[in-house]
Amino acid sequence: MGRICSSCCFTRRVSNTHQKAEHIQRSIGTMENPKEGNAYGVSEKQNGSSIKSRNGFPSNIILNHDFSRGLDSWNLNCCNGSVVPAESGSFEGISVKSGSNYAVITNRKECWQGLEQDITCRVSLGSTYSVSAFVGVSGSLQGSADIKATLKLEYQGSATSYLFIGRTSVPRQQWKKLEGTFSLSTMPDRVVFYLEGPSPGVDLLIESVVIFCSSPIEDESSSTRCAAEEDENIILNPRFEDGVNNWSGRGCKILLHDSMGDGKIVPQSGKFFVSATERTQTWNGIQQEITGRVQRKLAYEVSAVVQIFGNNITSADVRVTLWVQTPNQREQYIGVAKVTNKDWIQLQGKFLLNASPSRVVIYLEGPPPGTDILVNSLAVKHAEKIPPTPPPVIEDLAFGVNIIQNSNLNDGSNGWFPLGNCTLSVTTGSPHILPPMARDSLGAHEPLSGRYILVTKRSQNWMGPAQMITDGLKLYLTYQVSAWVRIGPGATGTQNVNVALGVDNQWVNGGQAEVGNDRWYEIGGSFRIEKQPLKVMAYIQGPAPGVDLMVAGLQIFPVDRHARFRHLRKETDKIRKRDVILKFSCSGTGIPIGTFVKVRQSQNSFGFGSCVSRTNIDNEDFVDFFVKNFNWAVFGNELKWYWTESQQGNFNYRDADELLDLCKSYNMETRGHCIFWEVEGTVQPWIKQLNKNDLMTAVQNRLTGLLTRYKGKFRHYDVNNEMLHGSFYQDRLGKDIRANMFKTANQLDPSATLFVNDYHVEDGCDTRSSPEKYIEHIIDLQKQGAPVGGIGIQGHIDSPVGPVVCSALDNLGALGLPIWFTELDVSSINEFIRADDLEVMLREAFAHPAVDGIMLWGFWELFMSRDNAHLVNAEGEINETGRRYLALRKEWLSHGHGHVNEQGEFMFRGFHGSYVVEMGTGSKKISKTFVVDNGESPLVISIDL
What phi and psi values does residue 934 have, to the nearest 5 degrees?
-75, 145
Q: CB–CB of 458/548 below 8 Å? A: yes
Strand order in the sheet with 451-456: 423-428, 451-456, 549-558, 478-487, 521-528
* Pick from 463, 464, 469: nearest CA to 534: 469
Rounded Cα distance between 750 and 651, Å, is 24
Rounded Cα distance between 812 and 775, Å, is 7
| Alpha-carbon torsion angle 902, 903, 904, 910, nearest 10 | -110
Alpha helix (H) ranges present in 757-800?
A: 771-783
Q: Going by DSSP bridges, is the β-strand pair 285-289/248-250 parallel, antiparallel, or unpaired? A: antiparallel
Burial letters for 870-889: b for 16+ Cβ neighbours within 10 Å, e otherwise?
bbbbbbbebbbbbebbeebe
Q: Going by DSSP bridges, is the β-strand pair 299-309/372-382 parallel, antiparallel, or unpaired? A: antiparallel
Q: Give the DSSP per-residue string, 321-376.
A: EEEEE-TT--EEEEEEEEEE-SS-EEEEEEEE-SS--SEEEEEEE-SPTTPEEEEE
Rounded Cα distance between 456 and 453, Å, is 10
C-alpha triplet 336, 341, 342: angle, nearest 5°: 135
What phi and psi values does residue 488 have, to the nearest 5 degrees?
-85, 175
Q: Which residues contact 141 (CB under 8 A, 6 or more apart)?
A: 172, 198, 199, 202
Rounded Cα distance between 629 and 105, Å, is 56
Question: For residue 373, with 0-12 CB atoms within 10 Å meaning exposed, 13-18 middle and 19 or more buried, which class applies?
Answer: buried
Residues that are catalytic: 722, 823
* Pick from 429, 452, 505, 407: nearest CA to 415: 407
Q: CB–CB of 272/258 below 8 Å? A: yes
Question: For residue 742, with 0-12 CB atoms within 10 Å meaning exposed, 13-18 middle and 19 or more buried, which class applies?
Answer: buried
Q: Give the DSSP per-residue string, 39-65.
A: TTS--B-SSSS--B-TTSSBPB-STTT
**SS3 state of residue 596:** strand
**SS3 state of residue 554:** strand
Rounded Cα distance between 828 and 826, Å, is 7
CA distances from 915 to 358, 574, 793, 930 (A): 46, 19, 30, 5
Q: CB–CB of 365/351 below 8 Å? A: no
Q: Which residue pairs, CB below 8 angstroms and at least 24 apart, start in 770-778?
A: 770/513, 770/514, 771/807, 771/808, 771/811, 771/812, 772/514, 772/811, 773/514, 773/724, 774/724, 774/812, 775/811, 775/812, 775/814, 775/815, 777/723, 777/724, 778/815, 778/817
Rounded Cα distance between 233 and 740, Å, is 56
* Pick from 809, 814, 808, 727: nearest CA to 765: 808
Cα 576 to chain center, whole Å? 32
Q: CB–CB of 275/372 below 8 Å? A: yes
Q: How far apart are the first and last CA of the chain?
A: 88
